Structure 1
Amino acid sequence: MIDSKDLPLFAWQPPIKIIAFPLINRVGKIRDVARKLHDKATDRHAEYYLKQVTDGLVAHLDRLGLSPEERERQIDAFWAKVEQEVIRLSYQRPDAGSHDPRGAA
């Protein structure tokens, strides 16, 4: 009978690599964070909220076992998307109302 010790190639296991779901694809999270960040009254409140979210993301990615470099890359990309969403929210007109052409004239 052939033992796995006789055939080390069959006993070999490839190294495990964790692939996390990219934070930039978490559109709901990005929009939620951007909306809350946009609604903060002061820069101090916004900075505190930014720190809270960043700490939460770091803890989440650490639990997944990502390398520090990958973690930083993911978080930087996440905040870039949040910034784009905040800019989009800033340019929306609050008084735009309905776009119904049958509206009151």
Structure 2
Amino acid sequence: MPPMDDLPLFRWRPPAEIVIFPTARNRPKVQRTALAAASSKHPENTIKATLDRLRASLQRKGLPLEMIARDVAELESALRTQVEFLLTRHWVAK
């Protein structure tokens, strides 16, 4: 008979919480994508495609929808800020 303290209940651990690095803080990715968007004829399409790819990638990894929505919103804000900066201050040609 197994010892009383070797029950599965005592070995149970709560599932690990997955924490992702915020995509909006990945400066090279934000700058590269914003430059591509600012240089294109349709910057909205470039931003939307990037956000859709990120959303699909995070969903495939099985992350909670709240976490996905927050990360996508933060990246969208960072991209729009950087595109605006490039278009207004650096005069990137469309």
TM-score by length of structure 2 reads 0.79
Q: For this pair of structures, how many residues does the alignment match?
A: 89
- Counterparts of 1:48-59 in structure 2, within 5 Å, are 48-59=45-56
Q: Which runs of 5+ in 2 are unaligned?
A: none
Tell which structure's C-alpha radius of gyration is larger: 1
Across the aligned residues of Structure 1 and Structure 2, the Cα RMSD in angstroms comes to 1.9
Structure 1: 4+ residue segments shifted above 6 A: none
- Cα deviation, residue 53, structure 1: 0.9
CA distance in 1, matches of 2:24, 2:48: 18
Change (3 A) 1:54 1:27: same
Residue equivalent to 1:90: 87
Residue equivalent to 1:31: 31
Q: Contact between 2:47 and 2:79, CA under 8 Å: does it hold in 1?
A: no
Q: Give aligned-pair identity as a percent.
A: 26
TM-score by length of structure 1 reads 0.72
CA distance in 2, matches of 1:83, 1:65: 27
- Counterparts of 1:55-66 in structure 2, within 5 Å, are 55-66=52-63
Residue equivalent to 1:4: 6
Verify: 1:67 aligned to 2:64, yes or no.
Answer: yes
